[in-house]
Structure 1
Amino acid sequence: MNSLIDQVGTESDFHDDQLLLPAVEDAYGGVIVEMNETMNSERFFLLLRASLFKWKILEGFRYHHAEPHYIMLVHWIPKTADTIPANASHRIGIGAIILNDIGELLVVQEKNGRLKGTGIWKIPTGVVDQGEDIFRAAIREVKEETGIDADFVDVVGLRETHNCFFGKSDIFFLCMLRPLSFKLQKQELEIEAVQWMPLEEFAAQPFVQKNVLFKSVYELCLAKKNGNYVGFTPKPIKSGLGDEISYIYVDTLALPASST
């Protein structure tokens, strides 16, 4: 303790806000440092040591995660087991199933990734952006990859896999959409080719026969065409903590009319 005080000043200095890093408390009793001005490393070190003393954090931090605009370090203060939640563990992806009026499936060939150069036709897929709703991501990816405008119908299935991108788990939502336009325009950066393909031709691909996910796409298309399958539709809700709208995905046909 004395060595810490010697490096910064007297103990009373720790109560002088000018000798502390600018910070605010968060909702969980933690401290968020907000710096709007740069400073040299020596002054930052001294202010950090003084601030740590005031915050009663006398041991080291551990890295939690990093984003483009900040790095988060954490330290558990109480003499109990550390229960700080881990960083985000999953990535969210979508696959878009779209049938036209004559039962053809919208498919693409990719320019990049593990399917590059294989000649395999697949449904449009993509990653949900931060803060983006699943149904909006499906509509966006279809437009970007194929030029087709579409309405979202429902979520018809999901798949979870682990140890994927950067060691994260992956949740992949299969979504059914309804086309609003039919003129194809491929995305030059990512897509090699795009077409409307007869469903039976899609299913006949050897890769589809061996791949459970692709085969499920075919089976879901058949079930939808026959009217034997109902998926989950986004229903807007408010959490009660504010005005922000979120969505719960439910079978609206099975709910009482007053709740839909």
Structure 2
Amino acid sequence: MLRSLPKLSLLFSSARNPRYLTSAQRFTSQGRRPTSRVKIGAATTLSILSKSTSTISSAIASETAAEDQVQQIKLLTSTDDKYGGVTVELNHPMDSSEFIQVLRASVSHWRQLGKKGVWIKLPIRLAGLVEALVKEGFWYHHAEPNYLMLVYWIPDSPSTIPANATHRVGVGSFVMNEKQEVLVVQENSGLFQGTGIWKFPTGVVDQGEDICVAAVREVKEETGVESEFVEVLAFRQSHNSFFEKSDLFFVCMLRPLSFNIQRQRFEILDAQWMPFEEYAAQPFVQKSELLKYINDTCLAKMGGQYSGFCPISTSSNFSDQKNYLYLNAGTLKSSYSS
């Protein structure tokens, strides 16, 4: 359609340009229909055939409308997920009013495509767009040190967007030497600060960290003792423990590889090797049903009457990385041989 536009130079006339006027007169003298003149601006007139006026004007109008539509519809760059949703990672600053227009056009587009959940990852430097997103119906999903994640559910049906992480994972390390002494610490802060209570080294598993690795790391950080992981003896689940989240706590047995204690002064008030009986006799421990069960488990393990769960490196269909399956390896081997 646009390829014919250069031919229009024959149809334009100007009072100050007799060459174009002559061309136009010659064009109409060949038996064509009379022309109509439309004045454009103060100095230029448009002299074209009546029938051509409608055709060309319609073509130009259609082309202009199409171009305007392309310019007006801007969509957010997104990637599809495996659950019928899309994820958007915003990177460039944008005026809030302009962003709302782009956001609405994008949501409309995703709705037409049958998409469901919308995840928008907002870097902390673009936090000014939070208000616009919330006004459009988005809600907070989770936050990390360098970004916020907001979500939106498109269909007129109950949302199936999964909740944010529901559990925190902690470890407690039972480390005993050949003298039947257990490694214990007194904390310099937190719940047990100033109580004089001796306890196992404990800590929180970091993101992307295995339980067996976290247990060894926490012992090293708090006491300076090197150790190797043996097995998970037991685990406990509790709720509403940390910002209303649930908590998984794994009691792990470790074998010491060094014995010299160098406590972490910031978190640990004191650390020592203590006879297990002395540790278990503490009034606080005696009053705790949970700790008594843990102590009984440790004693049974010491006596060779209990087997926990060892980490077995394995692969999974859900990840390319190796992960650990914790199981009672001894019992499993016995079942194979029988």
TM-score of the aligned structures, taking structure 1 as reference length:
0.88
Letter in 1 for 2:315: K
Separation in 2, partners of 1:243, 1:48:
35
Bigger radius of gyration among the two: 2
1:48 matched to 2:103? The reply is yes
The Cα shift of 1:12 comes to 8.7
Is residue 95–residue 123 contact of structure 1 (8 Å, CA) maintained in 2? yes
Separation in 2, partners of 1:190, 1:14:
62
TM-score of the aligned structures, taking structure 2 as reference length:
0.69
Letter in 1 for 2:250: F
CA-to-aligned-CA distance 1:57-108 (integer Å, 9 cap, x gap): 8x62232222223322222233433222111111100000000010000000
Moved over 4 A (4+): 10-18
Structure 1 residues 208, 39: CA separation in 2 closer, same or farther (over 3 Å shift)?
same
Structure 1 partner of 2:302: 225
Letter in 2 for 1:179: P
SS in 2 for 1:228: coil
SS in 2 for 1:66: strand
CA-to-aligned-CA distance 1:221-248 (integer Å, 9 cap, x gap): 2112210110000101111355311111
Separation in 2, partners of 1:103, 1:65:
45
The Cα shift of 1:258 comes to 11
Structure 1 residues 183, 11: CA separation in 2 closer, same or farther (over 3 Å shift)?
farther
Structure 1 residues 74, 13: CA separation in 2 closer, same or farther (over 3 Å shift)?
farther
Structure 2 partner of 1:245: 322
Structure 1 or 2: larger helix share?
2
Letter in 2 for 1:65: H
Structure 1 partner of 2:289: 212
- Root-mean-square deviation (CA), in Å? 2.5
The Cα shift of 1:14 comes to 7.3
Separation in 1, partners of 2:170, 2:68:
51
Higher RCO, Cα 8 Å, sep 6+: 1
User: Which consecutive residues of structure 2, in runs of 5 or more, have no partner in the other structure?
Assistant: 1-64, 117-135
Structure 1 partner of 2:74: 19
1:157 matched to 2:234? The reply is yes
Tell me the percent identity. Answer: 55
Structure 1 partner of 2:222: 145
Structure 2 partner of 1:131: 208
Structure 2 partner of 1:68: 145
SS in 2 for 1:116: coil
Give 1:37's match in structure 2, choosing from 92, 111, 120. Answer: 92
User: Which consecutive residues of structure 1, in runs of 5 or more, have no partner in the other structure?
Assistant: 1-9
Select between 15-24 and 108-117 the one with higher mean Cα deviation.
15-24
Structure 1 residues 202, 234: CA separation in 2 closer, same or farther (over 3 Å shift)?
same
The Cα shift of 1:52 comes to 1.8
Structure 1 partner of 2:313: 236
Letter in 1 for 2:289: V
Structure 1 residues 17, 207: CA separation in 2 closer, same or farther (over 3 Å shift)?
farther
Structure 1 residues 33, 197: CA separation in 2 closer, same or farther (over 3 Å shift)?
same
